[in-house]
Structure 1
């Protein structure tokens, strides 16, 4: 009999290794493309570039990431121009395997691109124009209602050829819904952030365990998923492995799962968002709120 594959375990990790590697590489490529979108490197972007490079190096031992970290520490005469050229070279090289990208590649690169243009907490018209162009060239992205809304806000913002601070903030808010807070805000790399999600239940006292349907997703700091599901059952909740109309709560970990379909969301989040958009009753519950509801 085939042994059950443990969620987050090494066996499942080996099965997903190729797709996970592709996912991270697509995100890293998109992030660097986003950094280049302004056609210059800003001082506030350097820390974010370093954070993402260090994480990519940690995940894959990538030589480009290692070299880039060294370059960021080098006192070049024209530092920002030199770093721009180095990153441009990395992007040109890494684009080759993505000449015929899948829809997942497209989505992960787009998430990375969004994180890249927003990594310094500022947006320029050039960056917004390239954001819109990227969506136009990949219309399948519009299947995600958040991206469709982001495009609408972005198009309206630059329709007069000017980008105000308020318009920047409007666009940035939609980017946060896709990839979470920027490195400038948190000091952390954005890959595997969980996004800001509409429909989040923030009041722990409103969460009802008894006879409610639960699904959990992500890598929890509280403990293994099996233990978390046990706590729910002990309190009278009903745990399912998949999203359905009987699901009341999707519990979302603070850290994205290694094996999620995309860099910032898995199929459960995608299905739950679609269900909610069609009038479903499901609520998203973040790990911190869930912890409070458990009484921890």
Structure 2
């Protein structure tokens, strides 16, 4: 055997071994995030109907990553029990119960990664309950590793202030969700999950400016807008004769999607508004989905 062949064989062997190490690490990351997400969904002590679609997205992604039997079964159960959230809660509880036994925390990254999944889970319906905040704070109080991250500490501070009076207002819920979006977005590479930036354009979004009008129309805004804070944009819409709400419903005419959300929608809590809008469109043809530039043009911000 020549030196070059020996070196090549060694490199090939080391490459295969390194691949197995990376595969095991990625499996650990994906499982930690997945379990954290499911625990986040359970944190409110029930499964909301608005959580069903994000649950399916996460299950499909985990299935694609690891060909996991439990994820496949959960997808089937979501189809079977789509009108019975209580049954889905029991299924998730069972999965978390026995899969948690095989997930051993190996290092600080595992702690953070599972926490990111938990945050995504409690925010996946774009709403935060007092019970979810209490469980969020309990995790932070129990772990110095989490509190050492300034972004996590900021989230904890916002969450703690929101629960001081024992209830969560809609504005406080939205603030917490926005902090969670920052965390989950930043953690995409570290979690081993597909990056959020793989969806650039929403199919079916309104493209004809002549069909877009502000007066006497109901708006919902989602995502982080480059042209200004959502509250400011909502005020400008109101000044021009339009109305706005925080949630998508049958009366919504337009769901305006920020550029950031149009990239991230499929794998973040922001996507629940878009999923809901698509469901309503399928039933009745509205609301229209509108990208940020069209709103910017109508508001004379570009």
Query: Normalising TM by the smaller chain, what interval?
Result: 0.5 to 0.7
Contact 1:35 1:116 in 2 (8 A): yes
Cα distance in 2 for residues equivalent to 1:99 and 1:15: 16
Where do 1:1-296 residues align within 5 Å?
1=7, 13-75=19-81, 79-98=84-103, 100-180=105-185, 191-193=193-195
Following superposition, the deviation at residue 192 of structure 1 comes to 3.8
Decide whether the 8 Å contact of 1:72 with 1:83 is kept in 2.
Answer: yes
Cα distance in 2, alignment partners of residues 35 and 146 from structure 1: 22
**TM-superposition CA deviations, 1:164-223 (whole Å, max 9, x none):** 111112111211110139xxxxxxxx944459xxxxxx8xxxxxxxxxxxxxxxxxxxxx
User: Computing the radius of gyration over CA atoms, which structure comes out larger, 1 or 2?
Assistant: 2
Checking the alignment, whether the CA contact within 8 Å between 2:36 and 2:118 is kept in structure 1 is: yes
Is the contact between residue 179 and residue 194 of structure 1 (CA under 8 Å) also seen in structure 2?
no
C-alpha root-mean-square deviation of aligned residues, in Å?
3.1
CA contact (8 A) 1:52 1:191 kept: no
Write the distance in 2 (CA, Å) between the matches of 1:124 and 1:193: 28
Does the 8 Å contact 2:59/2:75 carry over to 1? yes
| 1:31 and 1:115 in contact (8 A); partners too | yes
Is the Cα contact below 8 Å between 2:105 and 2:111 reproduced in 1?
no
Runs of 4+ in 1 over 2 A off after TM superposition: 9-15, 97-102, 190-195
- Cα distance in 2 between the residues matched to 1:114 and 1:44: 16
Shift of 1:57: 0.8
CA contact (8 A) 2:81 2:87 kept: no
Q: Distance in 2 between matches of 1:26 and 1:75?
A: 26
| Structure 1 position 137, deviation (Å) | 1.3
**Inter-partner Cα distance in structure 2 for 1:2 and 1:129:** 56
| CA distance, structure 1, for counterparts of residue 19 and residue 54 of structure 2 | 28
Q: Return 5+ residue gaps in structure 2 as ranges.
A: 1-6, 187-191, 198-225, 227-262, 265-302
In 2, Cα distance between the equivalents of 1:18 and 1:84?
29
Of stretches 11-20 and 22-31 in structure 1, the one that deviates more from structure 2 is: 11-20
TM-score by length of 1: 0.57
Distance 2:102 2:144 in 1: 21
The structure-2 alpha-carbon separation of the partners of 1:159 and 1:192, relative to structure 1 and needing over 3 Å to count, comes to farther
Structure 1 residues 37 and 46: alpha-carbon distance in aligned structure 2, compared to 1, 3 A threshold: same
Q: So what's the TM-score if we normalise by structure 2? A: 0.56
**Bigger helix share:** 2
* Shift of residue 103, structure 1, vs aligned partner: 1.4
Does the C-alpha gap of structure 1 residues 20 and 140 become closer, same or farther in structure 2, counting only changes over 3 Å? same
